[in-house]
Structure 1
């Protein structure tokens, strides 16, 4: 607690309450400012006495449990988000919610790319979960938590350049295919590894259709329309829209060969155990990339690979926007420079790659997507 003289006849009273720094301006004399200071201290102690049970009992761990019950577990990305909230619990779980300030959240965020060594894109995803968590704590649950403002609003986040356009070359695609086939079999045997078999199919679907990882994981057997050679993407989009993406006969055959799980209508149902299906996929995919000698590549870049080769094959930007499920054409314009004019620069590479891909028409005006399987 302190009283600072700002200018003639103006004082600033500062104090800490509920883990937060607060201040108030007082116009008048030094004596009046000290009187206000005593009053604020008295009110703080009184509030602390009245809310002692709330302060002690509502920890960050309690908040995480409540958030997970009402929000996290219902998200399409629940598998991935579970590991994120548990990471928050490990670092801040013992703190009272009302005591968490911007400094605490900033330190937690810095540790993501520091001690934990996460990529900046991954750290941003973790931060977005933290921000949503603390937003609920400071709004609809503020009476229980005692939190008045979202401390995550004060954090400086390093957001990577979203214009990153890493996609696979013809040679990298060929090496990826070989590595996927090798990974499919158990070491030293001719037996199929079911986990790697599914991972291989997930990769083939993603690179052949441009679907997002979350969309592939939510696919149901009924979404595969063999007769029409289409896949229905019924993922939870912002406005509940659905779209259809072309499927080659080779990809359809790959999906047919995928073993179904009894009692499950999803093609890739969640796995049980310490690691989620997404985590297992990421680990296996990283191993495949290492085998294929492919660097600086993420799973989402398979989507960029599809979009980039689509445009280099003379695709239409507006049709691509529909295939990718972009709500705004501006999101798709990043691929515009890879249009017909770019074919002369890529030369033989584009022609050779697309000669490997069998194409079949889907609808009028739609450019065919290729065979990768």
Structure 2
């Protein structure tokens, strides 16, 4: 006969789950505990201590168990925790653990982490400096989300009998990023890929300037080397057209295949690499022209957007061309490659496209994420101002 309070026992892992109703709650409130036992006698001893702690909470005895500290749990479970992350995301979160979370909370047992610990962690992070700058609220919030992820990982695998955080995370307010391009900026950005004179001047001021102190004569702005560099830069224009008019992420653009393109039906079908959601995007005239340009090239590849050598663009190459196009377009404010995706969503939102349609076009799992992207454009706000004038 199973002893009172013993919910389950695994003889292979030697873990027992104790559970009892709290006196006076008519069974509506229960307490559960996971402990490791060495023998049946040890199990009975710990079960008796557990029942006593439930019946007499004022005399509660801490049950000996194998609940690890945060540092110890992460050391043993990190591969499982990070198994679904991309390499870049895994590296970023591991750095957050090593630099911020473990030094502050590494010695706390994971079943004893409370909201108070997290509030203290936030205070410490707000005082810390990196290159003489304070950490952003977004960085602090990402650390809190990672902590919650670790605790839930332990709870779902029954290392913890109960999830320890009963209140909302003490998240800090994050400023809304509004880096979308205006219509004029978008046209100037795309026109930069045909600005050979501007490219040569920019090349002199950047790439050639860094070679001025070399012993051999650096190439001048009219050399074949600079002409070759401009041709490769101009070749990449379809990549940025698709970024602005499809809203695809950089990883999806780099590895976009011709099998996802249906020019006859006028749609792009693919599964987002990040969210694993299937999306269906219309091929607008500007995107069709860019795709026809890519198809008419002599380079043969299963990928749509490739270099003149027939290989998908490297991340570093995309960043370099994006930075060059920004400079030639005269965009000096903050504008990231991902903001082309924001521009796509903002443009559609300004045209009255609802959030559910935008969610499906962007491949989001929730409209809450879409709402962060979909904001009225500058032109839409000007129209509102004129209507109210």
The two structures have a TM-score, normalised by structure 1, of 0.54
Find the counterpart in structure 2 of residue 131 from structure 1: 148
Aligned length: 289
CA distance 1:118–1:281, shift in 2 (3 Å)? farther
**Structure 1 residues 258-317: Cα deviation after superposition (integer angstroms, max 9, x where no partner):** 89897x76858xxxxxxx9668756764565456433133333323323444566xx452
**Structure 1 residues 206-246: Cα deviation after superposition (integer angstroms, max 9, x where no partner):** 21223344543553331122334432242268794431222
**Structure 1 residues 109-154: Cα deviation after superposition (integer angstroms, max 9, x where no partner):** 64898667665456545644443233213x12352xx685456966
Residue 72 of structure 2 is aligned to residue 58 of structure 1: yes
Find the counterpart in structure 2 of residue 157 from structure 1: 171
* C-alpha distance in 2 between matches for 1:153 and 1:261: 56
Report if the CA contact (8 A) 1:60-1:93 is conserved: no
* C-alpha distance in 2 between matches for 1:278 and 1:159: 31
CA distance 1:178–1:87, shift in 2 (3 Å)? farther
Find the counterpart in structure 2 of residue 169 from structure 1: 182
The structure having more radius of gyration, on CA atoms, is 2
Structure 2 gap segments, 5+ residues each: 1-52, 209-218, 220-224, 307-312
Find the counterpart in structure 1 of residue 383 from structure 2: 342
**Structure 1 residues 97-119: Cα deviation after superposition (integer angstroms, max 9, x where no partner):** 73664257536864898667665
Find the counterpart in structure 2 of residue 230 from structure 1: 267
Find the counterpart in structure 2 of residue 90 from structure 1: 98
Report if the CA contact (8 A) 1:201-1:255 is conserved: yes
* C-alpha distance in 1 between matches for 2:174 and 2:264: 42
Partner secondary structure for residue 228 of structure 2: coil
Residue 289 of structure 2 is aligned to residue 250 of structure 1: yes
Report if the CA contact (8 A) 2:243-2:253 is conserved: yes
Find the counterpart in structure 1 of residue 343 from structure 2: 305
CA distance 1:88–1:62, shift in 2 (3 Å)? farther
* C-alpha distance in 2 between matches for 1:130 and 1:195: 44
Find the counterpart in structure 2 of residue 11 from structure 1: none
CA distance 1:209–1:51, shift in 2 (3 Å)? closer
The two structures have a TM-score, normalised by structure 2, of 0.52
1:157 CA displacement: 1.7
CA distance 1:108–1:279, shift in 2 (3 Å)? farther
* C-alpha distance in 2 between matches for 1:202 and 1:87: 31
* C-alpha distance in 1 between matches for 2:134 and 2:304: 33
Find the counterpart in structure 1 of residue 118 from structure 2: 102
CA distance 1:303–1:235, shift in 2 (3 Å)? same
Partner secondary structure for residue 336 of structure 2: coil
Report if the CA contact (8 A) 1:80-1:279 is conserved: no
* C-alpha distance in 2 between matches for 1:106 and 1:96: 17
Report if the CA contact (8 A) 2:122-2:140 is conserved: no
Report if the CA contact (8 A) 2:137-2:174 is conserved: yes
* C-alpha distance in 1 between matches for 2:295 and 2:381: 35
Find the counterpart in structure 1 of residue 256 from structure 2: 219
Structure 1 gap segments, 5+ residues each: 1-24, 73-77, 269-275, 347-373
Partner secondary structure for residue 211 of structure 1: coil
Once the two structures are overlaid, the 10-residue window that deviates more, 177-186 or 92-101, is: 177-186
CA distance 1:131–1:297, shift in 2 (3 Å)? farther
